């Protein structure tokens, strides 16, 4: 009897994960379609811009503090001066964060996750299979080469939305965008 109960419990958890993946796949595909068609209204509807911008702001600030510390010095005084200098660069940080949540940047991260807008669209079943459930309200899309999550989606009352990007990928993109601004 215990084995049957355990088996039923296992199937219940597995079906919950499959349901979340299947529900999310429609919104993931809608985002990919919107990116392909450059439909700004649909892109805005499929992302949580505030969450993405907050994540990008924090990473951009860390990068600029690291860069400033390298130029000023690594001691405590250098770090304090770097933080003060970066605080004066708030408009630059906000500009970097804005650039990271633009459709072209989001399309870049989608390509990193294997979601190619230029080629034939993946089917909903292929997308469902590619999605990795984190819990009932969160899923991610992993990079097919290294299987590391790149795009993170949360369930909202009306749909699934992109809420975060892999920190290493985002950090690399922000570093690339910030290079001309700090030199």
∠ Cα 37 38 40 (to 5°): 125
Kindly state the helix (H) or strand (E) to which residue 91 belongs, with its residue range: helix 90-100
pTM strictly above 0.85: no
What region, left, alpha or beta, does residue 114 occupy, with left being phi > 0 and alpha being psi -120 to 50 degrees? left
Domain count, the chain: 1
pLDDT at residue 37, as a whole number: 85
CA dihedral 162, 97, 148, 13 (to 10 degrees): -30
Q: What percent of the chain has pLDDT over 70?
A: 77
| Per-residue model confidence (pLDDT) at position 50 | 94
The mean pLDDT of 149-168, rounded to a whole number, is 94
Which residues on neighbouring strands pair with residue 142, listed in sequence order?
Answer: 149
Q: How far is CA 107 from the centre of its chain?
A: 11
Task: Evaluate if residue 162 carries a pLDDT over 60.
Answer: yes
Q: Which domain holds residue 147?
A: 2-182
Q: Are strands 138-142 and 149-155 parallel, antiparallel or unpaired?
A: antiparallel
Residue 65 has pLDDT above 90, yes or no: no
Q: For residues 84 and 109, which has the higher predicted lDDT (pLDDT)? A: 109
Q: With cut-offs at 50, 70 and 90, classify the pLDDT of residue 11.
A: very low
Which of these ranges, 11-15, 58-62, 159-163, has the smallest mean pLDDT? 11-15
Q: Is residue 174 pLDDT above 90, yes or no?
A: no
């Amino acid at each position: 009897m215990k084995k049957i109960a355990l088996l039923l419990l296992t199937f219940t958890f597995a079906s919950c994960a499959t349901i979340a993946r299947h529900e999310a796949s429609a919104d993931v595909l809608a985002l990919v379609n919107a990116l392909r068609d450059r439909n700004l209204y649909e892109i805005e509807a499929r992302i949580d811009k505030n969450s993405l911008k907050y994540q990008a702001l924090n990473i951009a600030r860390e990068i600029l503090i690291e860069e400033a510390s390298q130029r000023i010095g690594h001691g405590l005084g250098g770090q304090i001066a770097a933080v003060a200098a970066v605080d004066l660069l708030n408009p630059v940080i906000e500009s970097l964060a804005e650039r990271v949540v633009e459709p072209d940047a989001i399309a870049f991260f989608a390509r990193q996750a294997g979601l190619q807008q230029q080629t034939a669209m993946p089917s909903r079943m292929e997308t469902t299979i590619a999605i990795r459930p984190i819990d009932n309200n969160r899923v991610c899309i992993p990079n097919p080469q290294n299987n590391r999550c790149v795009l993170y989606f949360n369930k909202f009352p009306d749909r699934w939305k992109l809420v975060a990007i892999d920190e290493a990928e985002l950090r690399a993109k922000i570093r690339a965008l910030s290079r001309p601004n700090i030199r």
